[in-house]
Amino acid sequence: MKPSLQTLEQVVRNRRTTTNERRQLNQLIADNMFVTSPYLTKANFENLHASDIQLLYELYDENYFCGLLQSSLDTKLVSFRLSKRMTRAGGKTTRWTDPRRRRPARYEIAVATTLLYHSFQEPEGLVTVTGFQCENRLEALMRVMEHELVHLVELLIWSDSSCAVRRFQDIARRLFGHTHHQHELLTPSDTAVKEYGIRPGSRVRFDSQGRSREGIVNRITKRATVLVIDPQGQPYSDGHKYTKFYIPLRMLEAVE
């Protein structure tokens, strides 16, 4: 094992970042992305290039891994790709080996652009990645990259990696503060269905100003927009009048 890879293993096994440290490092990385990338001009970017993924890799290596990834892995042996085909996973890290062991292993990090571009299209749109609520595409991309870097590190050091295994989860938690270890991009609507069984069109019950009310979920962003029949409310195309309520998902109860 290369000396740099041995040192990387020590960093990965022992380093623990605080919330404040992560916040500062992530802001530094984001600022450098805007300064260096010719494609990223805003947090909700509309154009992304494979070179941006490589730049993000280099910035994370410098700030979290002391440059040891690049010292351990020749630049010719790692590539970066944008994928339009991945529809749930935010990214994927792949390792290829030569069965005859005549050539070193090669690695690729792919990022799902379709998911990124389809997210954050509404002003109040939020997406949850690795347990963090992300307010824009760059934040989501960074969380995905952190997840994939843990895969890459494990593949380099131990030749295998699984986010279902305790080792992966421990590294992701200590370095990046991840509390969830799947790399899906969950929209508020996804979360509502997955955790509460609620979706647009669901009938729900909630308490408001000391009264129990029932209504229909019309929209889900940070909160659910619930329409409650009210003779004094706003008329809708179905012939009824409704008053809108904006209710946190945790306060809603699905009505059968």
Residues 159 and 226 in one domain: no
From 144, 166, 186, the end of a domain falls on 186
Nearest residue to 45 (alpha-carbon basis) of 185, 129, 142? 142
Residues 17 and 133 in one domain: yes
Domain interval for residue 21:
3-186
Residues 178 and 226 in one domain: no
Q: How many CB atoms lie within 10 A of CB 209?
A: 5
Residues 209 and 241 in one domain: yes
Amino acid at 220: I
Residues 135 and 206 in one domain: no
Nearest residue to 106 (alpha-carbon basis) of 116, 96, 92, 114? 96
Q: What residues have CB less than 8 Å from 245, skipping those under 6 apart? A: 206, 208, 213, 215, 225, 226, 227, 228
Residues 86 and 173 in one domain: yes
Place of tokens 């990090």: 109
From 165, 186, 207, the end of a domain falls on 186
pLDDT value of residue 158: 96
Looking at the structure of the chain, the number of domains it has is: 2
Residues 181 and 202 in one domain: no
Residues 126 and 200 in one domain: no
Question: CATH number, domain at 233?
Answer: 2.30.30
pLDDT value of residue 6: 94
Residues 69 and 143 in one domain: yes
How far apart (Å, rounded) are the C-alpha atoms in residues 23 and 18? 9
pLDDT value of residue 124: 58
Predicted model pTM: 0.77
How far apart (Å, rounded) are the C-alpha atoms in residues 161 and 121? 33
Residues 245 and 176 in one domain: no
Which H or E run includes 231? strand 224-235
From 127, 158, 186, the end of a domain falls on 186
How far apart (Å, rounded) are the C-alpha atoms in residues 222 and 248? 7
Residues 121 and 205 in one domain: no
pLDDT value of residue 147: 96
Amino acid at 129: V
pLDDT value of residue 189: 75
Residues 36 and 159 in one domain: yes
What tens-digit pLDDT sequence spans the chain (256 residues)? 678 899 999 999 999 999 999 999 999 999 999 999 999 989 999 889 999 999 999 999 999 999 999 999 999 999 999 998 876 678 999 999 988 888 899 999 999 888 788 777 766 567 889 999 898 999 999 999 999 999 999 999 999 999 999 999 999 999 999 999 876 676 667 778 877 889 999 999 999 988 999 999 998 877 899 999 999 999 999 999 999 999 998 899 999 7
